[in-house]
Structure 1
Amino acid sequence: MGSSQSYYRPRGKTLLTNHRSYIVIELIRREEMTQPIVLKDLPSDLDPNRFPQHIAVIMDGNGRWAKRRGLPRIMGHQRGVDTLKDVLRCCSDWGISALTAYAFSTENWGRPLEEVDFLMTLFERVLRRELEEMMTENVRIRFVGDLDVLSPSLQAEISRSMEDTENNTGVQFTVATNYGGRQEIVQSCRAIAQQVKQGLLNLDDINESLFENFLYTKGIPDPDLLIRTSGEMRISNFLLWQLAYAEIYVTQTLWPDFDRHTLHDALLNYQQRERRFGKVGKA
């Protein structure tokens, strides 16, 4: 780490003091001091004031990772879970507020039955096994997608994980399961049309803010950064509405090999960009 530094964030008065492998943030708001937020092992070339608050990830390459090693595809998914845990912990360590993972799309049902069955079992087993640690890490879990078609036992684990972590104040961890961006928009339109039909809404009431209240992701800020692994240059029907102004970073790294170093590269690239939101740049 470098020598002691001070940073300032635009919200409130924020003082960051770099000390060894920790950066301690003291937040002072209206003369009230909150508990210090500790950022662990933050690389010195990253500026926490320019971090994305919300990262979305398309976790691609599990099957290819396994195939290159002569392993069944399911072993790639198993390794991918470990990677996701590490990335979630890194987000917590580095002060990133939200992480959304594309775990299973509406199109993934077309994969081999054995693989789909394994994934559903894996989701359930991981939720059951990791919930206690999520509570310890203060992570808040949320699932988005068409969850009604999942098995009753998996739905029960999903409900329990969301209910038990509802009041946690750490990283907002959203898992997109049986999720499709087009399907999400269609169901939102249907719900709005139904309310108009019932006289609960007027056409003039419909705007972007209202529309967002009918999305699966209601209440979750839009991602600032989308990371896709394995080098594929597409968004695969993921968060079509929410990614409107997200920065996109594609890495050749396969998801099971993604780690803090790869995340560091993505964040370094992100903080060098100028986000314009359709406006004229500063240059």
Structure 2
Amino acid sequence: MRRNEGRGPLYRLYISRLRRRMPATVPHHVAMMIDGNRRWARQLGFDSAAHGHRAGAAKMHEFLRWCDDLGIQVVSLYLLSNDNLRKRDSRELDDLIDIIAELARELSHEPDWRVQHVGRSDDLPPALAEVLHEVTARTRSHTGLHVNLAVGYGGRSEIVDAVRSIIAKHDEQGGSLEELAASLTPEQIGEHLYTGGQADPDLVIRTSGEQRLSDFLLWQSAHSEFYFVEALGPDLREVDFLRAIRDFATRDRRFGQ
């Protein structure tokens, strides 16, 4: 069953108290893996997963506002993987593509939010690729919340694409393979990722109780903290988010030391 949304006065009072007790330092970059949309729709008796995906998209818009209000500067949303493109039912995939396009347009109209597509455009239906290209271009100069939309995304593919880009650039400059091998560094690979120039995620959140990375930001999350929420995607509450931020603040981040 769907959880109680908790919109009553006691819930609002608790949220207000949590906000006042938030740590002074919050994550710079939060990555969100929204999961459980199909289960949510099935549990509520809907005949189509599209109801769950639409509710999940609305929740992600709300989630981004929570992040913006708290001063988080970058949020990455995992919306559609390369595996989804290959394995999802065609009707469900068509609905999901329309929902993602609608969400991207909505986000691009938020005041000063910068929306960026991260993923392979060539693998996407042309109409969706065009929408993502358009919102990325239109919001490129915005300086507010930076929203990465991982669509047609795969972490392994991203690393392959980064290495190919490095090789191509090196070849253009006339360098040898020996020189490339000697000069290649993790920092260089990082610069050629889809998120090149951005800070790595400090915190990765996943809904629905699943505890997997699912090919999301494999390179960037090497030193990230993880937080798993039992709620299905559309049922995520602000209190769940604030608890994740508070939990993050208590962790001793060692960055491999």
Compute the TM-score of the two structures, normalised by the length of structure 1: 0.79
User: For residue 99 of structure 2, what is the amino acid of its counterpart?
Assistant: L
Q: CA deviation at 1:80?
A: 0.4
User: For residue 188 of structure 1, what is the amino acid of its counterpart?
Assistant: A
Q: CA 1:76–1:211 in 2, change beyond 3 Å: closer, same or farther?
A: same
Aligned to 2:241: 263
1:212 aligns with 2:212: no
1:162-219 CA-to-partner distances (Å, cap 9, x unmatched) read: 1221111111100100100111111222222334444247323211111112211111
| Local SS of the residue matching 2:130 | helix
Alignment of 1:45-124 (within 5 A): 45-49=21-25, 51-71=26-46, 72-109=48-85, 110-124=87-101
Distance, in Å, in 2 between the alignment partners of 1:182 and 1:130 is 27
User: For residue 271 of structure 1, what is the amino acid of its counterpart?
Assistant: A
Aligned to 1:172: 146
1:139 aligns with 2:113: yes
User: For residue 22 of structure 2, what is the amino acid of its counterpart?
Assistant: L
Gap runs ≥5 in structure 1: 1-39
1:127 aligns with 2:130: no
1:229/1:251 contact within 8 Å kept = yes
Aligned to 1:6: none
Aligned to 1:33: none
Select the structure that is richer in strand.
Answer: 1
Aligned to 2:219: 241
RMSD value, Cα: 1.9
Q: CA 1:194–1:160 in 2, change beyond 3 Å: closer, same or farther?
A: closer
Aligned to 1:161: 135
1:34-85 CA-to-partner distances (Å, cap 9, x unmatched) read: xxxxxx9971221132x11100011000011111101121100000011001
Compute the TM-score of the two structures, normalised by the length of structure 2: 0.87
2:104/2:131 contact within 8 Å kept = yes
Query: Which of structures 1 and 2 has the larger relative contact order (alpha carbons within 8 angstroms, sep 6+)?
Result: 2
User: For residue 43 of structure 2, what is the amino acid of its counterpart?
Assistant: R
2:80/2:151 contact within 8 Å kept = yes
2:107/2:115 contact within 8 Å kept = no
1:143/1:174 contact within 8 Å kept = yes
2:207/2:230 contact within 8 Å kept = yes
| Local SS of the residue matching 2:164 | helix
Distance, in Å, in 2 between the alignment partners of 1:87 and 1:259 is 9
Distance, in Å, in 2 between the alignment partners of 1:193 and 1:164 is 30
Q: Which has the larger radius of gyration?
A: 1
Aligned to 2:13: none
Distance, in Å, in 2 between the alignment partners of 1:248 and 1:161 is 29
Select the structure that is richer in helix.
Answer: 2
Aligned to 1:193: 167
Q: CA 1:207–1:156 in 2, change beyond 3 Å: closer, same or farther?
A: same
